[in-house]
Chains A and B, each alone.
Chain A
Amino acid sequence: MSTVDARLSVFKTYKLYVGGKFPRSESGRVYEVTDSKSKWLANAPLASRKDARDAVVAARKAFGPWSGATAYNRGQILYRVAEMLEGRKEQFVREVAEAEGLSKSKAAAQVDAAIDRWVWYAGWTDKIAQVVGGGNPVAGPFFNLSTPEPTGVVTVIAPQESSFLGLVSVVAPVIATGNTAIVVASEKSPLPALSLGEVLATSDLPGGVVNVLSGRTAEIATPLAAHQDVNAIDLAGADDVLAKELEIAAADNLKRVLRPQPVDYAETPGIERMTAFLETKTVWHPTGSLGASGSSY
Chain B
Amino acid sequence: MASVFEYAPAPESRSVVDIAPSYGLFIDGEFTDAADGRVFKSISPSTEEVLSEVAQAGEADVDRAVKAARKAFEKWSALPGSERAKYLFRIARIIQERSRELAVLETLDNGKPIKETRDADLPLVAAHFFYYAGWADKLEHAGFGASPRPLGVAGQVIPWNFPLLMLAWKIAPALATGNTVVLKPAETTPLSALFFADICRQAGLPKGVVNILPGYGDAGAALVGHEDVNKVAFTGSTAVGKEIARTVAGTRKKLTLELGGKGANIVFDDAPIDQAVEGIVTGIFFNQGQVCCAGSRLLVQESIRDELLDSLKRRLSTLRLGDPLDKNTDIGAINSAEQLARITALTEQGEAEGAERWSPACELPSSGYWFAPTLFTNVTQAHTIARDEIFGPVLSVLTFRTPDEAVAKANNSQYGLSAGIWTEKGSRILAVANKLRAGVVWSNTFNKFDPTSPFGGYKESGFGREGGRHGLEAYLAPSSPEGER
Residues of A that sit less than 8 Å from B by CB: 131-132, 136-140, 142, 144, 146, 151, 231, 240, 243-244, 247-248, 250-254, 256-257, 259, 261-264, 266-273, 275, 279-286
Contacts and interface: CB of A to CB of B under 8 A. Distances in A.
A281 B450 contact: no
A251 B242 contact: yes
Interface string B248-290: 0110100001010000000000000000000000000000000
A209 B263 CA distance: 29
Nearest to B448: A284
A286 B441 contact: no
Contacts of B429: 285
A250 B460 CA distance: 11
Contact of A132 (B143, B241, B485): B143
Interface in B135-166: 143, 145
B454 A136 contact: yes
Contact of A252 (B242, B453, B463, B473): B242
A101 B257 CA distance: 43
Nearest to B430: A283
B414 interface: yes
> Which one of B145, B438, B452 has the highest number of Cβ atoms from chain A below 10 Å of its Cβ?
B452
Nearest to B455: A282
> Which one of B257, B439, B483, B485 has the highest number of Cβ atoms from chain A below 10 Å of its Cβ?
B483
A191 B319 CA distance: 67
A282 B455 CA distance: 7
Interface in B210-263: 238, 241-243, 245-246, 249-250, 252, 257, 259
28 contacts: A132-B143, A136-B454, A142-B445, A142-B448, A144-B452, A144-B453, A247-B249, A248-B249, A250-B249, A251-B245, A251-B249, A254-B242, A254-B259, A254-B463, A264-B483, A269-B483, A270-B145, A270-B482, A270-B483, A280-B470, A281-B436, A281-B441, A281-B458, A282-B455, A283-B433, A283-B442, A284-B442, A285-B443
Contacts of A231: 459
Contacts of A240: 250
B470 A263 contact: no
Contacts of A253: 414, 459-460
B468 interface: yes
B478 A272 contact: yes
Contacts of A131: 143
A33 to B, nearest CB: 29
Contact of B450 (A144, A151, A252, A286): A144
A284 B449 CA distance: 10
Interface residues of B, number: 48
A285 B249 CA distance: 38
Nearest to B421: A283
Contacts of A251: 242-243, 245-246, 249
Contacts of A142: 445, 448
B452 A280 contact: no
Listed from nearest, the 9 A-B pairs whose CB atoms lie closest are A270-B485, A267-B483, A244-B250, A247-B249, A251-B245, A138-B450, A136-B452, A283-B441, A248-B249
Contacts of B250: 240, 243-244, 247-248
A139 B448 CA distance: 10
Contacts of A273: 482
B104 interface: no
Contacts of B456: 280
Contacts of B384: none
A231 B414 CA distance: 11
A248 B255 CA distance: 13
B182 interface: no
Contact of A136 (B238, B433, B453): B453
Interface string B413-452: 0100000000000000100010010111111110010101
A136 B450 contact: yes
Contacts of A243: 250
Contacts of A280: 439, 454, 456, 465, 470
B95 interface: no
Given A136-B452, A270-B484, 15 more contacts: A138-B448, A146-B468, A243-B250, A248-B249, A252-B242, A253-B459, A254-B245, A254-B459, A254-B460, A254-B462, A259-B252, A268-B483, A269-B482, A282-B454, A284-B441
B21 interface: no
A138 B246 contact: no
B443 A138 contact: no
Nearest to A268: B483
A283 B443 contact: yes
A125 B87 CA distance: 40
B348 to A, nearest CB: 28
A281 B411 CA distance: 14
Contacts of B460: 253-254
Contacts of A263: 482-483
B470 A146 contact: yes
Contact of B453 (A146, A259, A261, A275): A146
Contacts of A140: 448, 450
Contacts of A268: 483
B127 interface: yes
A281 B249 contact: no
Nearest to A138: B450
B470 to A, nearest CB: 6
Contacts of B252: 259
B171 to A, nearest CB: 20
A270 B479 CA distance: 11
B453 A272 contact: no
Contacts of A284: 440-443, 445, 448, 453
B411 to A, nearest CB: 11
Nearest to A246: B249
A186 B438 CA distance: 34
A191 B459 CA distance: 34
Given A281-B438, A284-B445, A285-B429, A256 B463 contact: yes
